[in-house]
Amino acid sequence: MTTATDDELWSAIGDPTRRRLLDLLLESPARTATALSDRLPVTRQAVSKHLGVLDRVGLVEATEVGREKRYRVDQAQLERAAAQLQAAGEAWDARLRRIKKIAEAIERQP
Amino acid sequence: MTTATDDELWSAIGDPTRRRLLDLLLESPARTATALSDRLPVTRQAVSKHLGVLDRVGLVEATEVGREKRYRVDQAQLERAAAQLQAAGEAWDARLRRIKKIAEAIERQP
DNA sequence: TCGCTAATGCAACCTTTGGTTGCGTATTAG
DNA sequence: CTAATACGCAACCAAAGGTTGCATTAGCGA
């Protein structure tokens, strides 16, 4: 149920800082690494590395404007990621329910 | 939207090996660390450490039987985690939709 | 135009964490 | 009783998140 491609996306959005980065980019697009680092408890370089990761998996894209580099979220990709999160949650939920049923069935016949 | 407690659970289920571990424990409960490591590409010690993490956040619990220690999933806790996953996915989805609407509205008025 | 400031990128380094190997201890099987 | 098995602890390794320091380049005001 957890494929290799899954893991790539997971590790990308699995990091708290990267999640907050995506969050910030969603509420105000086209921000630069420096601007983003102002709103996070980490340095610009850390932010820059994270943006690099997000860029490599295609969750964000950047356009260079003069001396600054503005990032924005790739909506389609993030939608894919969000869908996978929901699916993962639902999958576990379903399995838990199945197991709970089995457990109850066993309890009913001593 | 992403609280501190969130992060604890995220980091617990954010690791691929831990996710597979939970998966294995769901399909056949009360397995030992050694048995679990047989079905994973890592050593018993690695599995043991992961089980320690999962135990600390309350996702699994262990009962000692003689020389072995059997682990099982805490259903209530995993349900909480699964719910958070779904919620996170839905939250991002909702924000994306909102932004998409705004973008379209802007495009319609030149 | 000149020089200063602001935004990036690159590199070295530290720390945490997932992972391994090796060893010692305890419990169970023969 | 002895041997095999399940576990825990400790040292060690590599990758990843994070920091500091420095070099580079683009914009802006005098």
All domains of chain A in start order, with CATH: 3-108 (1.10.10.10)
- Two tokens at B104? 């379209």
Q: Which of A84, A57, A33, A52 is nearest to B92 (CA)?
A: A84
Residue B3: left if φ>0, alpha if ψ -120 to 50, beta else—which one? beta
Average pLDDT over residues A14-22: 94
- Two tokens at A5? 């491609």
Helices (H) and strands (E) in chain B, counts: 5, 3
Average pLDDT over residues B13-40: 95
* Residue B8: per-residue pLDDT: 83
What are the strands, taking DSSP E only, across B24-108? 31-32, 60-65, 68-73
Residue nearest to nucleotide C27 (CA to C1'): B67
Note the pLDDT tens digit of each residue in A44-53: 999 999 999 9
What are the strands, taking DSSP E only, across chain B? 31-32, 60-65, 68-73
Query: Is nucleic acid strand D under 7 Å from A110's C-beta?
Result: no
Average pLDDT over residues A20-39: 95
Measure, in angstroms, how far nucleotide D22 C1' is from residue A74 CA.
33
Residues A60/A51, Cβ–Cβ less than 8 Å: yes
pLDDT over 90 (residue B9): no
Q: How confident is the model at residue A103 (pLDDT cuts 50, 70, 90)?
A: confident
Note the pLDDT tens digit of each residue in B64-105: 999 999 999 999 999 999 998 899 999 999 999 999 898 899
Residues B57/B12, Cβ–Cβ less than 8 Å: yes
Contacts of A52 (CB under 8 A, 6+ apart): none
The three-class DSSP label of residue A74 is coil
Q: Is B93 close to A84, i.e. CB distance below 8 A?
A: no
B109 vs A7 pLDDT, higher one: B109
pLDDT over 80 (residue B55): yes
Nearest nucleotide by C1' position to the A70 CA atom: C7
Supply the pTM of this predicted model.
0.89
Rounded to whole angstroms, the Cα distance separating A47 from A32 reads 10
